Structure 1
């Protein structure tokens, strides 16, 4: 899955795009609309904390750093305790480090706005809306062409890297 971005000039166009995406079979949980505070989105799906913050990237970084720290702690423990309990101790330290790191990283990421969305802040404050669509890679071009064909005022703003598969 990838997230593609469209900057849309008004709420009416955004509403039409969301309706077309639903008609294309894109589940509502994969459509996210980000607008200026107090903009009535009616029945359009509003972007959640996962889209508005750096929670997922921070979670991934925390797991990587925590797992690495756990590995180093496990190896240090191994140097002091000998090889008898090596496998279990290292595995336990890696798992504990990854768990603590991902929880800490995720919590810190929730307090940080999505760095990818910062470039759209000014446009959103002017009243434009940002539509984020999570779709499989093979549908990106088709959906992009349909939106731009039916709504020439919408601007394609790029795509985000791969999302976790269970998302």
Structure 2
């Protein structure tokens, strides 16, 4: 299990040095993400993608849950209406179809919605700062925090999330 740590860095040079130090500390590039203003240079940085910057995962999960519930309710109604020989199969089948449609439609909306988790950083990013999102193993959180605090006094620790979704 990993924890997601947030840091704000003042400029590109600081962000590049931080990236290099995290790589030397054996944090893989796959777990290091940077968010910056659209016009800011990102040379040498691993930019965050839609999974980190949108509500795609949360929306897909909600869509699956709601879609399967609506599908199951429709399955019960259909099984009663047609007097199906196997009502359980109708309910399960329509619940699965509902989950797929709910996941698909909700993820389309979620991918275009900015992440609620990153809202608190919007002003800093607009002001030209770089947001570092790093996913570290639980056993290394303190070590990485100390490393960044010691080597980057210009950076600001902005907190952490207790659990990182397995999907992104």
TM-score by length of 1: 0.91
Q: 1:162 to 1:84 in 2, by over 3 A?
A: farther
Deviates more, 1:51-60 or 1:150-159: 150-159
C-alpha displacement of 1:129? 0.7
Q: Distance in 2 between matches of 1:78 and 1:19?
A: 60
Q: Distance in 2 between matches of 1:53 and 1:161?
A: 18
C-alpha displacement of 1:135? 2.2
Are 1:34 and 2:26 counterparts? no
C-alpha displacement of 1:78? 2.7
C-alpha displacement of 1:31? 0.8
Measured against aligned partners, the alpha-carbon deviations of 1:77-116 in whole angstroms (never above 9, x if no partner) come to: 2332446312211111111111110111100011211121
Measured against aligned partners, the alpha-carbon deviations of 1:16-41 in whole angstroms (never above 9, x if no partner) come to: 11111111221212111111122112
Q: Distance in 2 between matches of 1:55 and 1:94?
A: 21
The two structures, once aligned, show a CA RMSD in angstroms of 1.7
Q: Distance in 1 between matches of 2:113 and 2:57?
A: 11
Are 1:125 and 2:126 counterparts? yes
Are 1:64 and 2:65 counterparts? yes
Q: Distance in 2 between matches of 1:91 and 1:70?
A: 8
C-alpha displacement of 1:156? 1.5
What residue is the counterpart of 2:50 in the other structure? 49
* Runs of 5+ consecutive residues of structure 2 not aligned to the other structure: none
Q: Distance in 2 between matches of 1:101 and 1:9?
A: 40
What residue is the counterpart of 2:143 in the other structure? 142
* Runs of 5+ consecutive residues of structure 1 not aligned to the other structure: none
User: For this pair of structures, how many residues does the alignment match?
Assistant: 167
Q: 1:137 to 1:77 in 2, by over 3 A?
A: farther
What residue is the counterpart of 2:79 in the other structure? 78
